[in-house]
A and B are shown apart, each in its own frame.
Chain A
Amino acid sequence: MRRVVLAVALVLAACSSAIHLHGAIDHPVTADGWPLTLEHFAPAPGSPTRARPVVLCHGFGANRSYLKIDEERSLPAVLSAAGYDVWLLDLRGREDAGAPGFWFGEHTYSYDVDDYIRSDVDAALAHVTRATGKPQVTWIGHSMGGMIAYARVGTYHDVRIAQLVTIASPGSFPPMSKVYLTAYKASGALALLPAVPVAFFARIYGALATPFAPAIVLDAPFYRGNLKHGEEYTMASESAQNLAKPESRQLLESVRRGEFVSADGKVSYSRGLAEVTVPTLVIGGRRDELADPMVIRESFERLGSPDKELLIVGRAAGFSEDYGHTDLIVGEPATREVIPRILDWLVRHER
């Protein structure tokens, strides 16, 4: 048994970080006492001065690492080189700010998506606006990172977010696909565990670089054709996070209802989309399994913004490939085709 543990430990240790882009770390604390992580990438020397800083937020079941997987061409690197003051956010429960305990400790996996919206976004915005002296930011969110910004602006009317870029962020949900239906049916098993230990299995998967689960499960977050060999394993090792039961239940219930709702079901963040009036760029991927273009279009149309753009990234729109959920922002094709479009939109909206 000791040998097995030793072998697993060696394998995990061998999987050292393949992400070399690092900024200055801050740990702002939310009003309810949770530490967050904000990684700061200052504007490159000699780059143009920009109107407002950018906060970049990851998606569900992940930390910020995958957003900076490419040292030179990932979004934080590109924006920083273009003169933007970039703040890469880890929401609560991520390891860099102190991982929660499964059963005991000051913090446990007890939070839901409402906590992100109410407290974490608030704390991050307070920190960035204070640190930069700028009253407003541009928020770029991938997947759930965009959903919580929709809710923060549309339902909580937070005026500190001046512009939004959402990438693969559904503001509502379509009829359940089998991927979602399977997740929903499996959610009964949540009762047996204090949290969903995704990180543990993802690290083994990443370290061994061998799929040990059906491709239908492992491939849902991305389309492998758009990733360099090994990037999926790096993401699994570095970025996968355990899921808190309340956040998982809230999202699955939202999927079941077809609209993004609060944990108690009383607030519809989907309805709040009409109250989002800031300039918004909405990006979806043609072959995204988790946020199909049909709901990306629906979210786009529900937005109240007079200045909004929709981009469905796929071959029919002239891109080299049909994009999936995470490869919209990670991978060589994204650095060549998608990230420049985001930068172009930001530059056009400098005012």
Chain B
Amino acid sequence: MRVSVALLLLTTACGPWFRYARPTHPRTFDPEVACADAGRLLVTFHGATHRAKGERPPVVLFEPLAVSRALLDRGADGGLVPYLNYRGFPVWVVFAEAPAGVTTRALGACFAQAVVAIARVTHAPRVDVGGVSLGGQVAAHALASLGDVALDRVFFYAAGLDYAYPGSFLDALADRRGAPLADACGGCARWLAGAGPADLGVLPPRGADEALPLAERFPGVPAARAPALFVNGKIDGLAPSESVYPVYQLYGRDGGAPRRLVIVGRDNFLDDLDHWGMLSGAHEDGFEVLGDWLTGD
């Protein structure tokens, strides 16, 4: 009895730490999806750490690409994945074995196959699908190939989707005169170690690709039927609001799917977050927006 009380008190006192305590290490799962020159896609499974009322659908998300995927799960320091686990969601993080040289468009087609494989393994009637940071582009491309999968919800978290405008983050990177990647990313600098412009080769080639109308670049977006959430940090230079707004406007245009766009900033009585703030969990405002939406709160 005393032990129980002591544990209860300890849990209460150290709530924030215990929320992220992980009972087990994530398990790796090979969905056997070959993906162009990227070798294959791999998956880590992160089980829910808290029980939720009713069953939560599995969340399948694509890794950030430009930022280390380790940022998604920093153990006791937080991260989007443990946060979603805490909200009762089992999370499957999909990543390419060697993404260099493969475009987000190609990765999107592979990601769709991985989602199909995960849906089959879990026997879940519906799945939530999303992408984080540049992984959002992968998720947006995947929508065109997810026809048979029952999607519960779709989300784009801190995702930069359309850089076809003058002075965009990619323009700034190209000239490198005034905007190093670290400035765009905010506090992400050390998580970008080794990630320079060359590592952003996953982005579809500029010029010809950007000349296409948005609906042709992301053919699955206008036809999407699942509700979608777009969440971006107010001062996120890597995934700024203007890079996501055109895709938000296009989403579900043909099928009338509900969509929502939330800027995490003072406009919405939240902290102004940059890319680091959105991904690190140092401020949980972004996580909460996503978690509340996924749970229907």
Interface, chain A (partner B; CB < 8 A): 174-175, 177-180, 216, 219-220, 286-287, 289, 292-298, 300-301, 309-312, 314-319, 322
Given A297-B242, A318-B177 in contact, is the A311-B167 Cβ separation under 8 Å?
A: yes
Shortest beta-carbon distance from B166 to chain A in Å: 5
B242 touches A179 (CB 8 A): no
| A206 CA to B204 CA, complexed, in Å | 52
Shortest beta-carbon distance from B237 to chain A in Å: 2
B267 touches A300 (CB 8 A): no
Please give, as numbers and ranges, the residues of chain B lying within 8 Å of A292 by CB-CB distance. Answer: 241-242, 263, 267
A289 touches B267 (CB 8 A): yes
Interface segment among B45-53, B178-186, B215-223: the answer is B178-186
Please give, as numbers and ranges, the residues of chain A lying within 8 Å of B178 by CB-CB distance. Answer: 317-319
Q: Which residue, A219, A294, A296, A309, has most C-beta atoms of chain B within 10 A?
A: A294
Given A287-B235, A317-B167 in contact, is the A179-B240 Cβ separation under 8 Å?
A: no
| A291 CA to B103 CA, complexed, in Å | 33
Shortest beta-carbon distance from A30 to chain B in Å: 34
| A122 CA to B265 CA, complexed, in Å | 38
Segment 148-202 of B: residues with Cβ below 8 Å from A: 165-167, 169, 172, 177-179, 183-184
User: Is B35 among interface residues, defined by CB-CB distance under 8 A?
Assistant: no
**Could you give 24 example pairs across A and B, Cβ below 8 Å?**
A174-B261, A177-B267, A178-B268, A286-B234, A286-B235, A286-B240, A287-B235, A292-B242, A294-B245, A297-B242, A297-B245, A301-B165, A309-B166, A310-B165, A310-B166, A314-B237, A315-B183, A315-B184, A316-B179, A317-B167, A317-B178, A317-B179, A319-B178, A322-B272
Please give, as numbers and ranges, the residues of chain B lying within 8 Å of A174 by CB-CB distance. Answer: 241, 245, 261
For B259, give the chain A residue with the smallest CB separation: A175
Shortest beta-carbon distance from A194 to chain B in Å: 30
Please give, as numbers and ranges, the residues of chain A lying within 8 Å of B25 by CB-CB distance. Answer: none
User: Is B134 among interface residues, defined by CB-CB distance under 8 A?
Assistant: no
Shortest beta-carbon distance from B153 to chain A in Å: 18
For B173, give the chain A residue with the smallest CB separation: A316
Q: Which residue, A295, A297, A319, has most C-beta atoms of chain B within 10 A?
A: A297
Q: Give per-residue flags for B229-251: 1 if the beta carbon is below 8 A from chain A beta carbons, else 0.
A: 00000110110111011100000
Segment 250-270 of B: residues with Cβ below 8 Å from A: 260-261, 263, 265-269
| A115 CA to B169 CA, complexed, in Å | 39
| A318 CA to B261 CA, complexed, in Å | 27
Q: Give the interface residue-count category, chain B.
A: 20 to 34
Please give, as numbers and ranges, the residues of chain A lying within 8 Å of B172 by CB-CB distance. Answer: 316-318
B265 touches A316 (CB 8 A): no
B268 touches A297 (CB 8 A): no
A177 touches B183 (CB 8 A): no
A316 touches B266 (CB 8 A): no
| A169 CA to B178 CA, complexed, in Å | 25
Please give, as numbers and ranges, the residues of chain A lying within 8 Å of B184 by CB-CB distance. Answer: 315-316
Shortest beta-carbon distance from B103 to chain A in Å: 23
The contact of B242 among A177, A294, A315, A318, by CB within 8 Å, is A294
Shortest beta-carbon distance from B149 to chain A in Å: 27
B266 touches A318 (CB 8 A): no
| Across the A-B interface, the 10 shortest Cβ-Cβ residue pairs | A318-B178, A316-B237, A177-B267, A294-B245, A297-B242, A316-B184, A294-B241, A289-B267, A293-B242, A178-B268
Please give, as numbers and ranges, the residues of chain B lying within 8 Å of A287 by CB-CB distance. Answer: 234-235, 265-266, 272
Please give, as numbers and ranges, the residues of chain B lying within 8 Å of A298 by CB-CB distance. Answer: 242, 245-246
| A300 CA to B267 CA, complexed, in Å | 22
The contact of A315 among B237, B261, B269, by CB within 8 Å, is B237
Shortest beta-carbon distance from A308 to chain B in Å: 9
The contact of A296 among B242, B265, B272, by CB within 8 Å, is B242
